[in-house]
């Protein structure tokens, strides 16, 4: 009788597991986007949600939970049940926020261990931009001026420890120069500061910067990518110019930690199908964003490498108000 009871229990677990795998999803999925409209995360997340819905057979509904540079939406998702019905589409800020909390001695509202990485969607290198009337025609012009006037040349960022702050600090650390950081409340205001001459430079995604370059309002000095961007093939990378700085503003999909393996597999498959979808690809091209899909072990390796690079930069930045 004991053996029969044990066998029955094992069969119940097996059929429960199988049923769960076969029925997911059985209701709409909520995709948390932790940033307001106006940047790259919101439109890309909505495009991805629509494309994933086709494969999953259930609607993926975008819900905005913005604030604290993304921390509110990240922390909210980390607290949800790991059943695949709450997922998170976010940017590299998911990594930098807890790192910055550690540096500043603040308790963090979440850790990266609170998430299951699902898939990388894009990984666009930032570009270093100056105004069209700037005296710096090349990166070497800027470096020479910065070395002659340490701490005098300013750069605008979208906020402390944000992507533009972190990437330009990486650049200044690698180049051995000192720049003056001027944080603004978002990428738009920081870009306007450079165009108006309030600040000397900024770093932006190609999707934001290139239309301004084509309009004759800004100039690109270098790319933070490992290789040249096809859209601006004449612009060299930082490394080509002797500066060991590489930075990507990436976007990826996450779920709470403890997600069942079969649910993670279903989500990854839905992403793979989404990035092959012709409508999705056309819309992403319209955003000037290049699809770079990784999942499983490849995404884990990407996160580990990028996290080490970001941690080193933030530790060098140190405490800031």
Both structure tokens of 49: 């949600």
pLDDT tens, residue by residue, 261-284: 999 999 999 999 999 999 999 999
133-241 and 29-125+248-317 share a CATH fold: yes
- The burial of 132, by beta-carbon neighbours within 10 Å (0-12 exposed, 13-18 middle, 19 or more buried), is given as middle
Separation between Cα atoms, residue 226 and residue 237, nearest integer Å: 7
For residue 185, what pLDDT is reported? 76
pLDDT at 17 over 50: no
Range with the poorest average pLDDT among 3-17, 215-229, 241-255: 3-17
pLDDT band at 208 (very low <50, low <70, confident <90, very high): confident
* Nearest partner of 110 among 256, 314, 300, judged by Cα: 256
Phi, psi of 267 (to 5 degrees): -65, -40
The pLDDT value recorded for residue 22 is 59
Confidence of residue 186 (pLDDT cuts 50, 70, 90): confident
Q: Tell me the pairing of strands 115-125 and 180-183.
A: unpaired
- In CATH, the number for domain 133-241 is 3.40.190.10
Token code pair at residue 219: 């100039």
How many of the other CB atoms lie within 10 Å of CB of 274? 27
What is the tens place of the pLDDT at every residue in 95-116? 999 999 999 999 999 999 999 9
Residue 52: name the closest of 251, 253, 255, 260 by CA.
253
For the chain, the structural domain boundaries read 29-125+248-317, 133-241
Whether 309 has a pLDDT exceeding 90, the answer reads no
Helices (H) and strands (E) in the chain, counts: 11, 11
Q: Convert the pLDDT of each residue in 279-307 to its tens digit.
A: 999 999 888 788 999 999 999 999 999 99
The SS3 of residue 86 is strand
**Residue closest to 170 by CA, chosen among 249, 261, 227:** 249
CA distance 129 to 223: 9
Do residues 246 and 238 touch, judged by C-beta distance below 8 A? yes
Residue range 42-70, pLDDT digits in tens = 999 999 999 999 999 999 999 999 888 88
- Say which residue, 218 or 40, is predicted with more confidence: 218
The domain defined by 29-125+248-317 folds into D-Maltodextrin-Binding Protein; domain 2 (3.40.190)
Q: What is the pLDDT of residue 69?
A: 80
Pairing of strands 202-204, 127-131: antiparallel
DSSP letter (8 states) at residue 248: E
Whole-number average pLDDT of the chain? 90
Q: Which helix (H) or strand (E) holds 66?
A: none
Measured CA to CA, the distance from residue 228 to residue 242 in angstroms comes to 14
Give ∠ CA 305-310-312 in degrees, rounded to 5: 100
């Amino acid at each position: 009788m004991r053996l029969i009871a044990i066998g029955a229990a094992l069969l119940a677990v097996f059929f429960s597991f199988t049923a769960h795998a076969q029925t997911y999803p059985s209701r709409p999925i909520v995709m948390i986007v932790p940033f307001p409209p106006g940047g790259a995360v919101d439109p890309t997340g909505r495009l991805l949600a629509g494309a994933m819905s086709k494969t999953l057979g259930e609607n993926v509904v975008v819900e905005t939970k913005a604030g604290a540079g993304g921390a509110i939406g990240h922390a909210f998702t980390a607290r949800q049940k790991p059943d695949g019905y709450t997922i998170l589409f976010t940017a590299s800020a998911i990594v930098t926020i807890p790192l910055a909390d550690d540096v500043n001695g603040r308790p963090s509202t979440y850790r990266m261990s609170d998430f299951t990485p699902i898939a990388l969607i894009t990984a666009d290198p930032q570009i270093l931009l100056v105004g069209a009337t700037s005296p710096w025609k090349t990166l070497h012009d800027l470096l020479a001026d910065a070395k002659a006037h340490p701490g005098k040349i300013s750069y605008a960022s979208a906020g402390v420890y944000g992507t533009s702050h972190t990437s330009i600090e990486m650049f200044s650390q690698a180049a051995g120069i000192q720049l003056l950081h001027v944080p603004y409340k978002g990428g738009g205001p920081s870009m306007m500061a450079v165009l108006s001459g309030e600040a000397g430079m900024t770093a932006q995604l190609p999707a934001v910067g290139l239309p301004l370059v084509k309009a004759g309002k800004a100039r690109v000095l270098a790319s933070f990518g490992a290789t040249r961007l096809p859209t601006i093939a004449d612009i060299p990378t930082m490394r080509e110019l002797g500066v060991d700085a590489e930075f990507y503003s990436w976007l990826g999909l996450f779920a709470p930690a403890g997600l069942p393996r079969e649910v993670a597999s279903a989500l990854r498959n839905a992403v793979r199908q989404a990035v092959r979808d012709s409508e999705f690809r056309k819309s992403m091209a319209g955003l000037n964003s290049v699809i770079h899909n990784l999942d499983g072990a490849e995404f884990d390796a990407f996160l580990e490498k990028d996290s080490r690079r970001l941690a080193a930069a933030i530790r060098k930045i140190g405490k800031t108000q």
